[in-house]
Structures are given as structure tokens and as C-alpha cells.
């Protein structure tokens, strides 16, 4: 397990180096002033921006791919769970704790962020368990179209609930980590916020990999994903395993909601659709059912979106994302790290 994690980390570092080289090439192509120092500085700034954006998509995409890997359900309500998580984090930080702006004291900031994650993630995990128990479990043996339509219905319920009960207007979120708090890399001024978002994403991904690979519940999740009926015959509690999967995926969605509010500084009831669509694309791009593939797809989408802005095509960012998805699926239908499997009976 440790060897596999080290190998994955080495591959990740190599991919980041390739990503930086591609970002440098994009900046050089788009820049009018091709002074090497200026290009290096701008490429570094956009590289960290892409890491932060990709980190958000990683947290959401992993939830999509976990649920699909266990019960082969595309949980279209997952994006709206992220939206609910963003609003829960907003109410905790602003309404409950009373913070409206940046926190200068590092220890206090760490404590407030810990409170946000320790409250928001379990609450959203319980929301995911409730959705699975009352919306998806009764339809587990129904034709595939039934749970798919139900997932869309749950998405609309969460969306309309927040719109009607909370607000339909954009809500500015407290910027607990000031964008003025920066450090220099290759002459580029990088907000610490970007680093925090990426570290949170990597940390949660590493924790997930350890949980799936080292714990009894993790082994139950893997066996259920491979063959549900055989796992049940071997004594695996399928209902508990699926509930845990929804809890973890929704908890990660809650973490994504927190960092989304910190990154963009504004939330609205509509954000779930757009974040969910891009994260689902990331999961398919990396290989639906593969958590490492979902992480790779999330980073790729972050880089594609930022690269589109760098070359002056911000309005085409979504089109470029889906163009890359189509090209990858044409050449490799199972996604970059996906494995083709036979249709389950």
C-alpha cells in the first residue's frame, strides 16, 4: 500500500511538472511581451490558480466516482450537495461565529477552519446518507432510469429549497483567508489561499486512499464495487457499505463547498449545477469509478479553464473542457485511468 502511494505521488509530481510546462507554453504563446522573467512569473501565478480550481473539482468528482463505483448510479444531486455545503459553511462562519472578513491570527484561522470542516463535513455526510436511504435505496433493484430520474429530482428539491428558504440572490461569503496574504515564487505573488485549497484536496484524497486500502469498511467498499452479490454472500453488509460511501462522498462535497466559498467569495443556489456538471465531466474524463482518475480529471479541468483565460478565450472554457472530454473518450472510452468491464447482470 505504501509503495503504491509513493508511486502515485511520484506520478502526481511528474504530472504537475508537465502541467507547469504546458502552462508556460500557453503563457508564452499568448504574451505580447515575451521577456522570460515576465512569462515565468505569469505562468507560475496561473499554475497555482489552476491548482486551486482543480482542487475544488477533485473533491466533487471523487464523490461522483465513489457512488458510481458502488451502485453504478450517476448521482446528479451531488453538485447541489456541494451548494448546500457552501451555505452551511457560510452560516457557521458568518451567522454563528460572526466572522465577516479575513482572520489575521494564524492559530485562530486554523481553529475556525477546523470548526468549519468538522461541522460541515459530518452534516453533509448525514445529508448524503439520508438521500441514499429515502430516495435511492427503495429503487436499488429498479430499472436504471428510475434512480437516475430520482437523482435529478433530488437535485431540484435541494436547489429549490435553498432558493425558497434561504435566498435566491448571490451571497458574499466571509473571506477568512485574505487574498492579500501572499508569498513570492519566481517573481509571482501567490495567495496562500490557493495553496490551502490544494493541500486540503490532497490531504482528503490521501486520507480516502488510506481508508479504502487499509480499513475493513474500505475493503468492503472495494469488494462491493467489484461484485455486489458475491460480497453479500461473503458477509458484507451492503446497506451499511453503500451508506458509508454516500457519507464519505457527501462529506467531501461539504469540504468542496467550504473551499468554493473561500475561492470565489460568493455563493448562490445555482452553483451546484455548474460545479456538479464540471466535476462529473472530470470523473468521466479520468475514468468513472476510479478515485485517482477523478483527481486527475479534476486537475485537468482546472488547467483547461485557466489556460482558456490565459489565451484570451474565457467564454470558450466550457467548450474546450468538453472538446477534450470527447477526444479522450473517442480514443479511450473508459477514460484515462478507467478499466473496461463487462456489463453486470
Q: Which residues contact 1 (CB under 8 A, 6 or more apart)?
A: 210, 213, 214
Residue-range domains of the chain with CATH: 2-331 (1.10.3470)
User: Would you say 170 and 268 are in contact if contact means Cβ atoms under 8 Å apart?
Assistant: yes
pLDDT of residue 344: 45
pLDDT, one tens digit per residue, over 259-297 is 999 999 899 999 999 898 888 899 888 888 788 888 889
pLDDT of residue 206: 86
pLDDT one digit per residue (tens) for the chain, 345 residues: 567 667 767 777 888 888 888 888 888 888 877 788 888 999 999 999 999 999 999 999 998 888 888 888 888 899 999 999 999 999 999 888 888 888 888 899 999 999 999 999 999 999 999 999 999 999 888 888 888 899 999 999 999 999 998 888 899 998 899 888 899 988 889 999 999 999 999 999 889 888 888 888 888 888 888 877 888 888 888 889 999 999 999 999 999 999 999 999 899 999 999 898 888 899 888 888 788 888 889 999 999 999 898 888 888 888 888 888 899 888 888 888 876 554 444
Q: Which residues contact 204 (CB under 8 A, 6 or more apart)?
A: 59, 252, 255
Residue 146: burial class (beta carbons within 10 Å; 0-12, 13-18, 19+): middle
pLDDT, one tens digit per residue, over 219-250 is 888 888 887 788 888 888 888 999 999 999 99
Give CA–CA dist 278/297, Å, rounded.
Answer: 10
User: Would you say 81 and 252 are in contact if contact means Cβ atoms under 8 Å apart?
Assistant: no
Neighbours of 26 (CB within 10 A): 20
pLDDT of residue 342: 47
Amino acid at each position: 500500500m505504501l509503495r503504491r502511494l509513493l508511486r502515485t505521488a511520484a506520478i502526481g509530481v511528474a504530472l504537475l511538472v508537465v502541467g507547469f510546462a504546458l502552462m508556460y507554453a500557453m503563457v508564452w504563446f499568448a504574451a505580447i511581451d515575451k521577456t522570460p522573467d515576465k512569462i515565468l512569473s505569469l505562468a507560475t501565478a496561473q499554475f497555482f490558480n489552476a491548482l486551486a480550481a482543480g482542487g475544488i473539482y477533485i473533491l466533487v468528482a471523487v464523490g461522483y466516482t465513489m457512488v458510481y463505483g458502488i451502485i453504478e448510479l450517476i448521482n446528479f444531486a451531488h453538485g447541489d450537495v456541494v451548494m448546500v455545503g457552501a451555505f452551511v459553511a457560510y452560516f457557521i462562519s458568518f451567522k454563528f461565529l460572526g466572522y465577516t472578513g479575513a482572520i489575521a491570527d494564524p492559530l485562530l484561522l486554523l481553529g475556525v477552519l477546523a470548526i468549519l470542516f468538522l461541522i460541515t463535513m459530518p452534516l453533509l455526510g448525514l445529508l448524503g446518507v439520508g438521500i441514499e436511504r429515502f430516495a435511492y435505496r427503495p429503487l436499488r433493484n429498479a430499472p436504471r432510469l428510475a434512480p437516475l430520474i430520482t437523482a435529478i429530482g433530488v437535485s431540484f428539491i435541494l436547489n429549490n429549497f435553498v432558493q425558497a428558504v434561504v435566498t435566491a440572490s448571490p451571497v458574499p461569503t466571509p473571506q477568512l483567508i485574505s487574498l492579500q496574504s501572499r508569498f513570492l515564487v519566481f517573481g509571482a505573488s501567490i495567495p496562500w489561499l490557493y495553496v490551502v485549497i490544494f493541500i486540503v484536496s490532497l490531504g482528503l484524497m490521501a486520507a480516502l486512499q488510506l481508508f479504502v486500502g487499509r480499513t475493513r469498511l474500505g475493503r468492503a467498499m472495494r469488494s462491493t464495487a467489484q461484485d455486489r452479490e458475491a460480497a453479500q454472500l461473503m458477509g458484507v453488509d451492503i446497506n451499511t457499505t453503500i451508506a458509508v460511501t454516500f457519507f464519505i462522498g457527501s462529506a467531501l462535497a461539504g469540504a468542496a463547498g467550504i473551499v468554493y466559498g473561500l475561492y470565489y467569495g460568493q455563493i448562490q443556489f445555482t452553483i451546484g449545477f455548474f460545479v456538479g456538471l464540471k466535476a462529473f465531466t472530470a470523473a468521466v474524463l479520468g475514468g468513472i469509478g476510479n478515485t485517482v482518475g477523478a483527481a486527475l480529471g479534476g486537475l485537468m479541468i482546472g488547467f483547461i479553464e485557466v489556460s482558456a483565460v490565459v489565451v484570451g478565450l474565457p467564454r470558450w472554457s466550457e467548450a474546450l473542457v468538453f472538446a477534450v472530454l470527447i477526444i479522450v473518450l473517442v480514443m479511450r472510452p473508459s477514460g484515462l485511468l478507467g478499466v473496461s468491464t463487462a456489463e453486470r447482470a
